[in-house]
Chain A
Amino acid sequence: MSRIGVFVCHCGENIARTVDCAAVADALREHPGVVRAEDYKYMCSDPGQQLVKKAIEEDGLTGVVVCACSPHMHETTFRRAAAQAGLNPFVVEMANIREHCSWIHDDRERATAKAIDIGRTIVEKVKQDRPLETIRIPVTKRALVIGGGIAGIQAALDIADGGHEVVLVEKEASIGGHMSQLSETFPTLDCSQCILTPRMVEAYQHPRITLHTWSEIEKVDGYIGNFTVTIRKKARSVDENLCNGCGDCQAACPSRKVASEFDAGLGKRTAISTPFPQAVPNIPVLDRANCTLFKGRAKGLAKDACGKCKEACLKGAIDYDTEDTFVTEEVGAIVVATGFQLYDIGREQPAGLKGYGEYGYGEVPDVIDGLQFERLASASGPTGGEILRPSDGAVPRTVVFVKCVGSRDPEKGMSYCSKICCMYTAKHTMLYKHKVHDGRAVVFYMDIRAAGKGYDEFSRRAIEEDGAEYVRGRVSRIFRDGDVVKVWGYDTLSGRQVVIDADMVVLATAVRPQPGIAELAQKLSVSYDQDGFLNEAHPKLRPVETNTAGVYLAGACQAPRDIPESVAMASATAAKVLGLFSADELERDPSVALVNERTCSGCFHCERVCPYGAVEHRDVCDMEGHVCGHVAWVNPGVCQGCGTCVAVCPSKSVELAGFTDSQVYAEINALAGW
């Protein structure tokens, strides 16, 4: 016989304002099986929890229903309290009368009636609840970090320094990410490469970090503590073990006019190349799309058209016939740090985006984006750090900077603020003025958002000490007029139209997630928002976790982030991972599928629908011990408790603990009396 206690929470006024909590308790007290029903102002508070614990002990309750908020909020709280009072935590359930009732209805009578219904339904479910035991599973104490930018490097180093092995996967030929492309960093104006490259080398040489560059994630199987990850190592055509990074192959390569991705298209590279001289690892990649030999092979030439790099390589490291290879790694946790890309605002746009054709980006050579300006200002850039405009190599005397290109513009771009542009534009004007003392830097802005330690002082310095001219307003058109780039804008503070004859224009384009993020998110079962940024488990309280246990987020894959924030997030993920690795076993929700071997007919429909491969075959033997058939068996360590197998089983031989057929039917039946 069930002895159920019902506890109705007022949630201050959140529930009590629209639901008569005492009436709910009174109604549920009369429900069959309920031996106690009480209401209290804050059930989740310490005295509230004491109330529950006392009732469990005094009345010998066999089940508890807490009519309060969403189970996502306080189920754990009350299950823990029940366990302390000696009741199995899995016979405690939440009836959600806040999010699903009091907050969305204003008719007190109807809201109260609905709250009683919700309470009854859960009481009926709890009557069918069975005590469950927490599952313990082993943890593989190795981590995978996806993305080798500053966030990924920081996370990998922190986890490795904490004593655990790390597999770091980078899709480009070198780690370093966007930070390696930057000239100097705000708000300190220290050289980006000077602070980054030592960390890159540290990660590369760390005894506990395995680095896979020019590699991508092919497949992810498993679950927290026990992931199996397949990594695709893209054909590099250069043996990583033989190459010593001498650079002879690059010197010998005749295809020298390939646009350099690292220099954001402003510089040139060879077909076989490292992205930049400080690359880690310093091992080149042969870009088959631009290689004379491979272009010849694609045309079907019988004889190879080139082969100069292979001739030049004294180590014999170059092999034109390598294929993609696959590496499988067993890890217990995954950190995603895939970073961002800039909104390419030209006329050609994928569905859903409109671009900014009126700004002439991609058509007027002297209209560039922020990353291209970084390369122009960088000592390792195509101009050796001199600010020279791309069209004719002249020193630009007037440079116009336009902020919020694609950001905060739901009509044509993204509705969010890209966060880093205010600061890097202030930095750009300073870098420019430091190099071209008599030059004019004009900034068109909507607002100056410089929140951060030393940030506002920095942007003020750009205006007050370095003389950047800030114009509050938008730019309507940018076009080439003879030798100059005309900028038509509007100064909203003085109410005048502004026309500037610029020599160069720098657009602070929006920060967007990396291409391919959706595919990666699907492989990891992580959700993403309408802009493609990955979703954290909770925006305030769980900012680096995802809803998939064991997968964590660092840096700009989650939202636009600057370097200090990315590093902070990366260290936070490392703390989470090290916390997970601190125990040998992991406790898991026992809500998993169970097969009744007596009724299972061995059709294995369940095996076909299981997304985790949790269903295994078990032999059935006759009395003489001969195998006479097979039945299904669910591995509780692998099962994630989705219940898809339960719904397809033709003989109803599978049950999902916590959501059994009898529990669900009890709920459906409870609603019949409504």
Chain B
Amino acid sequence: MEASFEPRITAFVCNWCTYTGADLAGTSRLPMASNVRIIRLPCTGRIDHLFVAKAFERGADGVIVSGCHPADCHYTAGNYHARRRFGVFRELLSFLGVDPRRLTFSWVSASEGGKWADVVNETVARVRELGPFDAYHRLADAPVPDGDPFAALESATPRADGAGENEPSGVHASEPGRGRAAATGGSGA
């Protein structure tokens, strides 16, 4: 892992609680790590788990999902659907080759600017420790096999326990994976 590794974290937050809580953190001038980019959605209920998968695929090292506390949802129940969905999705994440520790799920209300700063700082610290998430780029950059297409896939897929991610990666250092993602990004899904 490079010494200068700066995690890139995408946050999916609801408009009413966490986005407003993050606004409050700003109004209260609470300093926090600058590694998080927020995507505002009306409700955590709107968050398709494929958003999270896509964020990882596109090069995020960590993802935060945050909304209103149970029983405080602006839309009554969206956060309950989100909670149930992410309970299941967390399991699927390991199967996708992503260490579940890269995903933070939290409740931050509109009055909890301090808690938002804590969630950001804790997630950045945790992901920094886990190192860059580049398993998908290594997979994408693996040579195309002539014969059995699955043979090469198996050798390139990281182990499900996440141990493979922490190995120093030449692919990441030279960043061809990042370049690929950048080249295809920005033009819509």
Query: Which A residues form the contact surface with B (CB < 8 A)?
Result: 32, 70-72, 96, 98-101, 103-107, 110-111, 114, 117-118, 120-121, 124, 127-128, 518, 522, 525, 527, 529-530, 535, 547-548, 591, 609, 611-612, 640-644, 646-648, 656, 659, 661-662, 664-674
Contacts of B72 in A (CB 8 A): 522, 527
How far, in whole Å, are A674 and B175 apart by their CA atoms in the complex? 12
Knowing A525-B76, A611-B75, A673-B186 touch, does A659 contact B42 (C-beta < 8 A)?
Answer: yes
For residue B60, CB closer than 8 A to chain A, the reply is: yes
Partner of A104 from B32, B40, B77 at Cβ < 8 Å: B32
Instruction: Let me know if A644 and B46 touch, CB within 8 A.
Output: yes
- Stretch in B48-56, B100-108, B143-151, B153-161 with 4+ CB within 8 Å of A: B48-56
For residue B133, CB closer than 8 A to chain A, the reply is: no
CB-defined interface of B34-48 with A at 8 Å, one 1/0 digit per residue? 100111111101111
Instruction: Let me know if A103 and B26 touch, CB within 8 A.
Output: yes
Instruction: Let me know if A644 and B188 touch, CB within 8 A.
Output: no
Knowing A662-B188, A664-B51, A670-B186 touch, does A100 contact B74 (C-beta < 8 A)?
Answer: no
Contacts of A525 in B (CB 8 A): 73-76
For residue B22, CB closer than 8 A to chain A, the reply is: yes
Q: How far is the CB of A416 from chain B (nearest CB, A)?
A: 14
Knowing A118-B37, A547-B16, A644-B78 touch, does A671 contact B58 (C-beta < 8 A)?
Answer: yes
Contacts of A661 in B (CB 8 A): 48, 189
Q: List 8 A-B contacts (CB under 8 A).
A: A72-B20, A98-B26, A529-B111, A611-B77, A659-B41, A669-B58, A669-B187, A674-B8
Contacts of B71 in A (CB 8 A): 518, 522
Which residue of chain A lies nearest to B41 when distances are taken between CB atoms in the complex? Answer: A659
Which residue of chain B lies nearest to A646 when distances are taken between CB atoms in the complex? Answer: B46
Q: 5 new A-B pairs (CB below 8 Å) besides A105-B31, A647-B46?
A: A71-B40, A106-B31, A656-B42, A671-B60, A673-B182
Q: How far is the CB of A665 from chain B (nearest CB, A)?
A: 3
Instruction: Let me know if A128 and B188 touch, CB within 8 A.
Output: yes
How far, in whole Å, are A662 and B50 apart by their CA atoms in the complex? 12
For residue B185, CB closer than 8 A to chain A, the reply is: yes
Instruction: Let me know if A668 and B39 touch, CB within 8 A.
Output: yes
Instruction: Let me know if A527 and B58 touch, CB within 8 A.
Output: no
CB-defined interface of B3-27 with A at 8 Å, one 1/0 digit per residue? 0000010100000100110110111
Main secondary structure of the interface of A (DSSP, over half): helix
For residue B62, CB closer than 8 A to chain A, the reply is: no
Partner of A668 from B19, B54, B117 at Cβ < 8 Å: B54
Contacts of A70 in B (CB 8 A): 19, 23, 26
Contacts of A518 in B (CB 8 A): 71
Instruction: Let me know if A646 and B40 touch, CB within 8 A.
Output: no
How far, in whole Å, are A101 and B25 apart by their CA atoms in the complex? 10
Contacts of B76 in A (CB 8 A): 525, 611-612
Which residue of chain A lies nearest to B31 when distances are taken between CB atoms in the complex? Answer: A104
Query: Which B residues form the contact surface with A (CB < 8 A)?
Result: 8, 10, 16, 19-20, 22-23, 25-27, 29-32, 34, 37-43, 45-49, 51, 54-55, 58-60, 71-78, 81, 85, 109-111, 117, 181-182, 184-189
Which residue of chain B lies nearest to A518 when distances are taken between CB atoms in the complex? Answer: B71
Instruction: Let me know if A668 and B26 touch, CB within 8 A.
Output: no
Contacts of B42 in A (CB 8 A): 591, 641-643, 656, 659
Contacts of B78 in A (CB 8 A): 611, 642-644
How far, in whole Å, are A672 and B30 apart by their CA atoms in the complex? 27
Contacts of B8 in A (CB 8 A): 671, 674
Which residue of chain A lies nearest to B75 when distances are taken between CB atoms in the complex? Answer: A642
How far, in whole Å, are A110 and B37 apart by their CA atoms in the complex? 13
Instruction: Let me know if A114 and B34 touch, CB within 8 A.
Output: yes
Contacts of A662 in B (CB 8 A): 188-189
How far, in whole Å, are A91 and B45 apart by their CA atoms in the complex? 24
Q: Which of B29, B37, B78, B85 has the most CB of A within 10 A?
A: B37
Contacts of A101 in B (CB 8 A): 34
How far, in whole Å, are A140 and B8 apart by their CA atoms in the complex? 49
Instruction: Let me know if A669 and B31 touch, CB within 8 A.
Output: no
Instruction: Let me know if A548 and B39 touch, CB within 8 A.
Output: no
Contacts of B181 in A (CB 8 A): 672-673
Contacts of A665 in B (CB 8 A): 51, 54, 188-189
Knowing A643-B46, A672-B185 touch, does A99 contact B27 (C-beta < 8 A)?
Answer: yes
Q: How far is the CB of A74 from chain B (nearest CB, A)?
A: 12
How far, in whole Å, are A612 and B46 apart by their CA atoms in the complex? 15
How far, in whole Å, are A609 and B80 apart by their CA atoms in the complex? 10
Which residue of chain A lies nearest to B28 when distances are taken between CB atoms in the complex? Answer: A103
Contacts of A646 in B (CB 8 A): 46, 48
Contacts of A99 in B (CB 8 A): 22-23, 25-27
Q: How far is the CB of A654 from chain B (nearest CB, A)?
A: 11
Which residue of chain A lies nearest to B182 when distances are taken between CB atoms in the complex? Answer: A673
Q: How far is the CB of B25 from chain A (nearest CB, A)?
A: 6
Q: Which of B20, B42, B59 has the most CB of A within 10 A?
A: B42
Contacts of B25 in A (CB 8 A): 99, 104
Which residue of chain A lies nearest to B8 when distances are taken between CB atoms in the complex? Answer: A674
How far, in whole Å, are A120 and B37 apart by their CA atoms in the complex? 11
Q: How far is the CB of A595 from chain B (nearest CB, A)?
A: 15
Knowing A103-B27, A642-B42 touch, does A32 contact B75 (C-beta < 8 A)?
Answer: no
How far, in whole Å, are A446 and B49 apart by their CA atoms in the complex? 54
Contacts of B27 in A (CB 8 A): 99, 103
Instruction: Let me know if A609 and B188 touch, CB within 8 A.
Output: no
Q: How far is the CB of A108 from chain B (nearest CB, A)?
A: 11
Instruction: Let me know if A609 and B186 touch, CB within 8 A.
Output: no
Q: How far is the CB of A650 from chain B (nearest CB, A)?
A: 11
Instruction: Let me know if A669 and B85 touch, CB within 8 A.
Output: no
How far, in whole Å, are A664 and B55 apart by their CA atoms in the complex? 10
Instruction: Let me know if A530 and B188 touch, CB within 8 A.
Output: no
Contacts of B43 in A (CB 8 A): 642-644
Partner of A644 from B29, B31, B45 at Cβ < 8 Å: B45
Q: Which of B29, B42, B186 has the most CB of A within 10 A?
A: B186
How far, in whole Å, are A666 and B185 apart by their CA atoms in the complex? 8
Contacts of B81 in A (CB 8 A): 609, 644, 647-648
What are the 9 A-B residue pairs with the smallest beta carbon separation, nearest first? Answer: A99-B26, A643-B46, A665-B189, A644-B45, A642-B75, A672-B185, A672-B58, A673-B182, A611-B76
How far, in whole Å, are A171 and B10 apart by their CA atoms in the complex? 48
Q: How far is the CB of B19 from chain A (nearest CB, A)?
A: 8
How far, in whole Å, are A591 and B32 apart by their CA atoms in the complex? 32
Q: How far is the CB of B64 from chain A (nearest CB, A)?
A: 13
How far, in whole Å, are A150 and B38 apart by their CA atoms in the complex? 45
Instruction: Let me know if B37 and A647 touch, CB within 8 A.
Output: no
How far, in whole Å, are A667 and B72 apart by their CA atoms in the complex? 27
Contacts of A111 in B (CB 8 A): 34
